[in-house]
Structure 1
Amino acid sequence: MADSRFKICPCQVKRRITMKKKLIAGILAGSMLAALAGCGGGETDPGAADSPSGSGSGGVIEITIPSYKTGENVGAVFFEPQVERFNQLYEGQYKINLESVPQDGFNDRLKQLAQQNMLPVLVQGGDVDWMANIAFPNGMAYDLSEWLNETPAVKDLLLEDGLEYCTNEDGSIYSLPLATVRPTGFFYNSALWDPQEDLSAMSMDEFLTALGDQKIAFSTAENGWVAALFLTALIAEEVGGVEWLQSGVETKITDFNTPIFINAVARLQELLQNNAAPNSIGAAYADAANSFMSNQAALISNGPWMSTDFAETNSANWSNGFNGADVRASLFPGQVGIANTACFGEWWISASASEEELELAKAFLEFVYSPEELEAFLLAEGGDAPKLEYSDGFKAQQGETQVLADLAADTTEETVFAPCILDMIPASVANSDFGRLLPSLADGTYSPEEFAQWMTDSATAATAE
């Protein structure tokens, strides 16, 4: 077993969720259950149950779970077939149905179900603060610790940082830690810019010099996703920058009046003013992706899941002579990959699940964390499973997708992981406030220092609510 293909930066934080209910959490959870127990549910797919539920009693054990990884969502490309594979494997014994929920309403849907005491058997994540401060301390989740101890095939694959983060003071584990990490770097069009160097091994200064006047497909609307990724990389390059970002894992960052942040914002401002592709200001992510895939920009930052956009099967989305075969990938200068390994995983189980439903849920989690499914996931969406010994077939297939092979080659023992800035600040600031001010930074209305003060004011106000 390859226990460590790369170095995960030491993170000295650990979430402490005590079983003694906090007064405010108890009041919130109790009032929600009392006041809203009879409220109606949201829309579901035709044929789906009005609420996620299970059935069994001697027949097929069947449950319905809400998910945003359905329909046109990019996550559906892998997730829907994965659920179908599980249903086929356990045909006649277990069956999972999916309730389609829009991604922007998914967290609210889970909270609504919790208020009605009708959480699905399998819960696909949710709002991190809600899980940590409401759902988990108030007994809404099933303790996975005993099952993990009895299932080394799963536990032995879990990321150490994630396992530590998800383990509470009493040893309980509610969120199943991740076994994979998907470091985000950037993609570049070698037909427009082909530096012929190891870009991740450069310093940020060397990289920006090599970049010259090449254009970057920024998104600045919505949450400013692409701009936020570049800002994260710029922060990570600063002395103490990775540690500053990691400080937001336990307690959200609210003070941005630090040279680390201000220096990084100053560099981002220069990139927005000198290297932004046409129409970057005010662009949503879809606009940025279109800009890159129409030869209007040489670079775009996004996660490895974007690799499917460069396959010939998606060539209908290309224009102006763009060819996905020309795209290469790299981690950021300083050997930085954007990823947070000290975090909750994707899945948890409702504490209200029956014994039969628990059997299904555990079977599904063991299925998802099987070597075959992990390898299939990595081939579809990129990333690495540091503690999984890869099959020869996987290694061969991974090499067939150039950008995934590039990222795999960059992910070494020297790779430094830094969490995205958007995950380390209050949600309201990350989801809208940050992107809303980016145009003012780009046109010089705000200086880096003023931008930092505005972020501080917004974050302070958000945490005081």
Structure 2
Amino acid sequence: MKKKVVAVVCVLSMSMSLAAGCGNKEEGAGGNGVVEISFPTFMCGTASQTEWVKERVEAFNEEYKDQYKVVMEEIPGDQNYIDKMKVLYSADDLPDVIVTGGYNLIDSMQDKLVDLTPYVEEDPEWAGFMSDVGKNVNTRDGKLYAIPYIRQTIGYFYNTELFEEAGIEQVPETWDEFFEDCDKLLAAGITPVSMDTAESGWVTSLMLGAMIGDSDTGEEFMNTNQPDDYNNDEVVKAAGMIQEMFQKYTTADAVGGAYAEAANNFFNEKTAIIANGPWMVSKFYDTSVVSEDFGDRVAVATFPGNVMYNSGQIGWSIASKTEEKIEASLAFVKFMTSEESQKLDLEMCSVIPDCVITDADVYSQVQDTINLADSASRSINDFQSLWHATVVDEISVQYPLLADGSITPEEFAQALTDAAQ
């Protein structure tokens, strides 16, 4: 059920459905002098923000029909989108507007991105609308390369009915208690946790990061931009815990599986737990995906140690090459990150905004996620936002090896270090 959210302080985004497409046209203007800008998106198909992006692009094109036109290309799949952006970057043919969801492309592409600092500074109202944490995560060397629009708040969801069947009366406070609960679930014939390895192993890596972040030094590590050495006690210990989860507490399709399989296992009540953000919540009430009343049986919790992902996220970048197109792209980015757009994203897709939104109508699990993030003892950032892209890619190579015991947790940490360096 939904309830009112009051004063949601937002910072970053989670989500992702903007495909990359189309190289920039040589001519800045389309027919009748209208300037066309290219906007690829992975928010398409079954992605959570598909309808929001479609509605917003159509609204922008209608409002600015005599000046600008956004030409949107759909690229299904996060990894397909990222791969295409890399190809276009190498060809010096990036689209005009880029938004990468949780993936950090600023550090690998900033030489071809527009420094947005002067444009924001000359518009104090726009600058004041952004949160400090949102601006910080999108800034490199004092230059703003993307406009924030989302706050990343992530814990884990659990099926209360399956917990009750296993005799679990409250969520675990420590990782030792978490594994004890996993044993209780197994004893009740319930597979404990949804996991994955493909496409950076998103839900598995959320667990990994939360395990790393359960200490002062681990929390600091999880908030470090582009670490180049993973050979530390926190990473090794977490890798060992993930290895145990692969071998004892997840589904047979976890190794080799992607996010979709992990999510479907939770939706079909084949697993009791999945780590993910609030953008998933709307699916809990979609009876074409889940059974009747499924959403009423799902609650959200902090990770053991009272750890939550709570940070800003990489936002909207511009790679236009002419002033004419930069002007059009700025208008589009302002529109997509406006209070109206962020509120619609929150209500339609449960994406936590970067700005302060009042009186938004959202699902109870979304409000609960915000409350948990605001009161968490430890706040961390997610791996896709901060780690080198080479490390994010390497994770999918190493997880299956870790799962079948081909490598040790120490070798896993060394492999990530090698990828970073």
Question: Equivalent residues in 2 for 1:393-432 (5 A)?
Answer: 394=360, 397-398=361-362, 401-414=363-376, 416-421=378-383, 423-431=385-393
Cα shift at 1:83: 0.9
Aligned equivalents of 1:213, 1:283: Cα separation in 2: 25
Match status 1:380 vs 2:348 = yes
Match for residue 54 of structure 2 among 74, 80, 93: 80
Does the 8 Å CA contact 1:106/1:126 hold for their aligned counterparts?
A: no
With structure 1 as the length reference, what TM-score do the two structures score?
Answer: 0.74
1:39 is aligned to none
State the SS of the aligned residue for 2:60. Answer: helix
2:37–2:329 Cα contact (<8 Å) kept: no
Shift of 1:300: 1.0
Distance in 1 separating the partners of 2:358 and 2:381: 29
For 1:15, the equivalent position in structure 2 comes to none
From the two aligned structures, give the one with the greater strand fraction.
Answer: 2
Deviations 1:111-134 (A, max 9, x none): 44445554333233499776435x
Q: How does 1:169-208 map to 2 (within 5 A)?
A: 169=141, 171-176=142-147, 178-194=148-164, 197=170, 199=171, 202-208=173-179
- Contact 1:219–1:282, Cα closer than 8 Å, also in 2: yes
- Give the drift of 1:179: 3.9
Distance 1:348 1:233, change over 3 A: same
Q: Which amino acid in structure 1 is aligned with residue 395 of structure 2?
A: F
**After superposition, where does 1:29-428 map in structure 2 within 5 Å?**
51=25, 54-55=28-29, 59-102=33-76, 103-125=78-100, 131-133=106-108, 135-137=109-111, 140-169=112-141, 171-176=142-147, 178-194=148-164, 197=170, 199=171, 202-214=173-185, 215-247=192-224, 249=225, 251-256=226-231, 258-312=232-286, 315-318=287-290, 323-341=294-312, 345-355=314-324, 357-385=325-353, 387-388=355-356, 390-392=357-359, 394=360, 397-398=361-362, 401-414=363-376, 416-421=378-383, 423-428=385-390
Q: Cα distance, 1:406 vs. partner?
A: 2.1
Give the Cα–Cα distance (whole angstroms) in 2 for the partners of residues 3 and 147 of structure 1.
28
For the 8 Å contact 1:220–1:282, the answer to whether it is kept is: yes
Question: Is the radius of gyration larger for structure 1 or structure 2?
Answer: 1
Does the CA contact (< 8 Å) of 2:302 and 2:376 recur in 1? no
- Structure 1 residue 302: Cα displacement: 1.5
Deviation, 1:98, is 0.5
Higher RCO by CA contacts (8 Å cutoff, separation 6 or greater): 2
What amino acid is the match of 2:305?
Answer: G
Structure 1: state its 5+ residue gaps: 9-41
C-alpha contact (below 8 Å) 1:335/1:416 kept by paired residues: yes
Q: Which moved more, 1:91-100 or 1:321-330?
A: 321-330
Give the secondary structure class of the aligned counterpart of 1:310: helix
5+ residue gaps, structure 2: 1-5, 13-18, 186-191
| Aligned-partner Cα distance in 2 for 1:43–1:61 | 18
The alpha-carbon deviation at position 262 of structure 1 amounts to 2.1
Q: Residues 267 and 289 of structure 2 are in contact (CA less than 8 Å); yes or no, is this contact kept in structure 1?
A: yes
Report the AA paired with residue 229 of structure 1: L
Q: Of 378, 402, 409, which aligns to 1:441?
A: 402
Distance 2:416 2:373 in 1: 35
Mean Cα deviation higher: 258-267 or 115-124 = 115-124
> Partner letter of residue 268 of structure 2?
S
Confirm or deny: 8 A CA contact 1:234 1:264 kept in the other structure. Answer: yes
Distance 1:416 1:221, change over 3 A: same
**CA distance in structure 1 between the partners assigned to 2:364 and 2:7 by the alignment:** 25
Q: Which amino acid aligns with 1:254?
A: D
Separation in 1, partners of 2:395, 2:46: 27
Q: Is residue 186–residue 330 contact of structure 1 (8 Å, CA) maintained in 2?
A: yes
In 2, the alpha carbon distance for the partners of 1:337 and 1:405 equals: 14
Conserved? CA contact 1:305–1:381, under 8 Å: yes
Structure 1 residues 261 and 125: CA distance shift in structure 2, 3 A = closer
Q: Percent identity?
A: 25
Contact 2:158–2:298 (CA under 8 A) maintained in structure 1: yes
Secondary structure at the aligned position of 1:193 is classed as: helix
Cα RMSD, aligned residues only: 3.6
Corresponding residue of 2:189: none
CA separation of 1:182/1:379 partners in 2, compared to 1, >3 Å: closer, same or farther?
farther
Deviation, structure 1 residue 54? 3.5
Structure 1 residues 404 and 152, CA gap change in structure 2 (3 angstroms): same
Displacement of 1:142 = 2.6
Query: Aligned with 2:200: secondary structure?
Result: coil
**Does the 8 Å contact 1:87/1:94 carry over to 2?**
yes
